[in-house]
Chain A
Amino acid sequence: MLHIERLTLELPHYPRWWQREWATCIDALSLHIAAGEIHAVVGASGAGKSLLAYAIMGLLPSAAKMKGTLHFHSAPLTPARQRQLRGRQLALIPQSLSALDPLARSQQQVRWAAQRVGFERPAADQRAEALLGHYQLSHAAALYPHELSGGMARRVLIAMAQVGNAHLVIADEPSVGLDPTQRDRVLATLKAMALEGKAVLLITHDLRHALPIADRVTVMRHGKGLETAPAKAFQGQGERLTTAYASALWHALPDNAFSTLPVTALRQEPTLA
């Protein structure tokens, strides 16, 4: 469904106002996502994960320099096609809660998203209501973004992305700020989307909760795709992981060693010194 070949992205920064330098934010990244698959992209903040989402959606700042190719449904994903598909076949659940319109009530946010993808007025209202109900937001339908808690605002964003039957859903840190019940609900929704045949790109630093639903995991660091492994490779001591960084991520989880030490040294020092 989505094929990314050697995507390289450079962004300008200005050490002095007359001086421009280019920083490589994504470095020759290749990624292939099939229909019905959840592909998780994990890595530290600053690894270029969110920029990847913006590159696919065509939401990069105009100064960005992009190389490499993007193919969606076997056709090149050009800026014109991105404009035409986004919000319809391409959906983004943004990381920042500021993506909500501060002057619109929750019901309007979701209804407008439905209208943008072509639902007429009564149907759009019904769809908005059904989705708000699904996310236990019926009581918050008349609230403005500043009246919502972080978790509620995030669920509104997810409802907006879900309203239009997209083929590819990009979820950028969808579980941040949610309690375990809500997080599981959101992740289960992503899984359900994949089972319906959608492709889901799950961008997260939360490796542990991505693993149960993900099919494959790409570990990113400093803009590079270090390793793409099946989610099943993240188990035991991580023997099936090929890069040291992926293995270190796995060991650092509180459920595992909670340690940066190599496996052999763990026996003497099982927790933090």
Chain B
Amino acid sequence: MLEAHGISFHFPSGLPLLKGVTLRLAPGEWIGLSGDSGAGKTTLGKLLAGQLAPHEGQVTIDGAPLPTQGLSPVQWLPQSPELAVNPRWRVGKIVREAWTPPDALMKAFGIEPHWLKRFPSALSGGELQRVCVLRALAPGVRYVVADEISTMLDPITQLTLWQALRAHAERHNLGVLVISHDTALLKRLSHQRWHLAGGQLTAGTALEAP
């Protein structure tokens, strides 16, 4: 269980962004998170993944604090893949940074073998996004924070990405937090939904399992 216990976060100016947010993500569960831009969705995602430290409260995984070294069991997937890769590494090295994904999984994510020899600049945003998602699914990863990962994709590419991630999450019992503006997408993907506004989560609408 990944838990945020009353976490708060404020800007350097002291302006509060998150005010005592509590959230629980179970293995195998999909939670949808919506909110206006600037509401702090990405900050909450980064806090859950241990990329930022909360000013108050704590993030725990099965009751223990997040590990600070090694591959994090909570992976944050950013919106802009081109900013999340080393432009001087070939795609093959990027995707194998933490693990060597099996060929079948590469295929499921629609990653073509000939991309591996290319540099990231030679792939489209949608192609690179799939590489970034697969890179983050190494063994030992138990939770994934998907931060607007399909916003820039056309409907078909978006669907392929979610299908592949969903199949993988089901097989490995991953918990997934989906951050998106797209309520229709959240309804399709998540078991429960939360809305972030004014630094707090408003009661999520429990939805039937999709």
Residues of A that sit less than 8 Å from B by CB: 42-46, 149-151, 173, 176-183, 205, 207-208, 248-250, 252-255, 258-260, 271-273
Q: List chain A residues, Cβ under 8 A from B181.
A: 179-180, 183
Interface of B is mostly: helix
Q: List 15 contacting pairs A-B, 8 Å CB cutoff, sorted by A.
A: A42-B154, A44-B126, A44-B154, A45-B154, A45-B157, A46-B124, A149-B37, A180-B181, A207-B155, A208-B184, A250-B155, A252-B155, A252-B156, A254-B184, A272-B210
Most buried by B among A176, A180, A254, A260: A254
If A45-B152, A254-B184 touch, whether A181 touches B36 (CB-CB below 8 Å) is yes
Contact call B162/A272, Cβ cutoff below 8 A: yes
Contact call A205/B210, Cβ cutoff below 8 A: no
Verify if B102 is at the interface (C-beta below 8 Å from A).
no
Partner of B125, one of A42, A45, A208: A45
Interface size class of B (residues with CB under 8 A): 20 to 34
Partner of B182, one of A177, A250, A254, A260: A254
Partner of B156, one of A150, A176, A181, A249: A249
Given contacts A46-B124, A151-B37, A182-B37, 11 further A-B contacts (CB under 8 A): A45-B126, A45-B157, A149-B38, A205-B152, A205-B153, A207-B155, A249-B155, A249-B156, A254-B184, A254-B187, A272-B159
Q: In B27-52, which residues have CB < 8 Å from any A CB?
A: 36-38
How distant is the Cα of A22 from the Cα of B158 in the complex, in angstroms?
29
How distant is the Cα of A272 from the Cα of B134 in the complex, in angstroms?
19
Q: List chain A residues, Cβ under 8 A from B166.
A: 272
Q: In B155-201, which residues have CB < 8 Å from any A CB?
A: 155-160, 162-163, 166-167, 181-182, 184-185, 187-188
